[in-house]
Chain A
Amino acid sequence: MIRSIIWNGLWKQNSGLIQLLGMCPVLAMTGNVVSAAGIGCATIVVMALSNFAVSLLRIFIPYEIRIPVYILIMASLVTVVDLSMNALVRDLYLVLGIFIPLIVTNCLVLARLEAFASKNPPLLSALDGAMMGLGLTLVLVALGAIREFVGTGMLFAGIEMMIPGAHEIKILPDSYPGFLIAILPPGAFFTLGFLVALRNWIDARSHRRALQKKIAASAGVSTPVTPSTN
């Protein structure tokens, strides 16, 4: 059960690449690695907490008003995260600005409350929330890294807001002119498209390999088989 939750969150049901939920942060906050990781971490915390809270309280929540109650719980927890980040990591908070309150509108959070937390015990729900959030964060960071590198030739710009004293890494020389479209919103769509294709390709390949192995094993002879494309 635990393994399948982790596997679902990180790969099989990955929110960024398969469910394609939570597109707002995916598209808006992935111009660089640092803000992508920041909004991702905030989402992990909100998802784990709200899944835990809803699961804990699920027997008290009447079926008819479950959605308003879920939204109430989510909104309160987001407010708590918002205030805490403002007090503790202010510089990063200033960068993420409006996108922290927007976690409330992330369908992914509500989807996991309805699909998982309302039917499962608290700890498993918290794990599911954290893993779904982590899956989203990995996609965010990958997108952020690709867009930042292609767009500016650097990585980790603004890292000093998270880790004081750390510096961005310049990979390409200063003469790199930059590739603006990677930083602009369309770049997010293009890069996300490539990532979805890559994930599907990896899945299809492992699928085909497994199938070939099975056929080879059952036939006993290594006749070349071309299975239908997935």
Chain B
Amino acid sequence: MSQENMPSDSIIKISTRTAVILLLFTLAFTTLMAATYKVTKQTIDANTEEDKLKLIGEVLPISAYDNKLLQDAIEIPAMPLLGLDTPSQIYRARRAGKPVAMVLEAVAPDGYSGRIGLLIAVRASGEIAAVRIVQHKETPGLGDYIDIHKDKNKSKPWITQFEGVGLEQVPRAEWKVKKDGGRFDQRAGATISARAVTNAIGRALQFVAENRERIYAAPAHSKLPVAQPAQPRP
């Protein structure tokens, strides 16, 4: 930078200098962000984990099973059918050694404002026990009724309509919102959020139906061998 005052500075030199300055600023502030990320990551992860435990309690009451749920987990690879692009865990609830339900994560990638994270409990008999939204950025006051805590209809929240319903009650092809010709309600003005969640639950049920035996049979902490990608259906 010693020649910065020389009149012979060419355009190239000036623009290089500007670019270097911009690069330096970018590096400095990226470092700041990375440092904050590192410092806060543990707390944020712990918070998310704690929330998840609380949430599992919501989709599956503790009285329904007698095994150590968090220990009886298996790992599944990234499953496009569940919308997951990272490995995830399935928790298996048992009572007196017999399967009662499984709790799994799924993602609806097509929410109004990005991904919607779901936690789904599916009974061993194939029906949904309950579904909760773990993470979303849907519009407050409009699309966020998918989250039971934001739902203004407290007596019959939207997300509870899936409870007790499985592929036997509603065929796979009808796991859509009514607006798309399916069986499930959506609320006026925010169909996209409801559609994303309903479709994701349908896909998750399909995944469970195709893999149920293997999921319950796999030893704890093992990796589910090959969770076969589902055949695309006509």
Whether A associates with B in a native complex is yes
The B21-43 residues at the A interface (CB cut-off 8 A) are 21-22, 25-26, 29-30, 32-33, 36-37, 40, 43
Q: Which chain B residue shows the least CB distance to A95? A: B140
SS of B interface (majority): helix
SS of A interface (majority): helix
Name the contact of A76 in the complex, choosing from B21, B33, B137 (C-beta under 8 A).
B33
A-side contacts of B18, CB under 8 Å: 62, 64-65
A-side contacts of B222, CB under 8 Å: none
Name the contact of B32 in the complex, choosing from A76, A90, A97 (C-beta under 8 A).
A76
Q: A86-B40, A87-B44, A97-B137 are in contact. Are A80 and B33 (CB under 8 A)?
A: yes
B-side contacts of A87, CB under 8 Å: 40, 43-44, 47
B-side contacts of A184, CB under 8 Å: 141
Q: Is A76 in contact with B30, judged by CB distance below 8 angstroms?
A: yes
Q: What is the 8 Å Cβ interface bit string for chain B, positions 2-29, against chain A (1 contact, 0 not)?
A: 0000000000000001100110011001
Q: Is B21 in contact with A62, judged by CB distance below 8 angstroms?
A: yes
A68 vs B19: C-alpha distance when bound (angstroms): 11
Q: Is A73 in contact with B47, judged by CB distance below 8 angstroms?
A: no
Q: Does A98 contact B (CB under 8 A)?
A: yes
Chain A nearest CB, measured from B142 CB (Å): 9
Q: Is A65 in contact with B36, judged by CB distance below 8 angstroms?
A: no
A-side contacts of B44, CB under 8 Å: 83, 86-87
A–B Cβ pairs within 8 angstroms, 5 of them = A65-B18, A76-B29, A80-B36, A87-B43, A98-B137
Question: Which residues of A are in contact with B by a Cβ distance under 8 Å?
Answer: 28, 31, 57, 60-62, 64-65, 68-69, 72-73, 75-76, 79-80, 83-84, 86-88, 90, 95, 97-98, 183-184
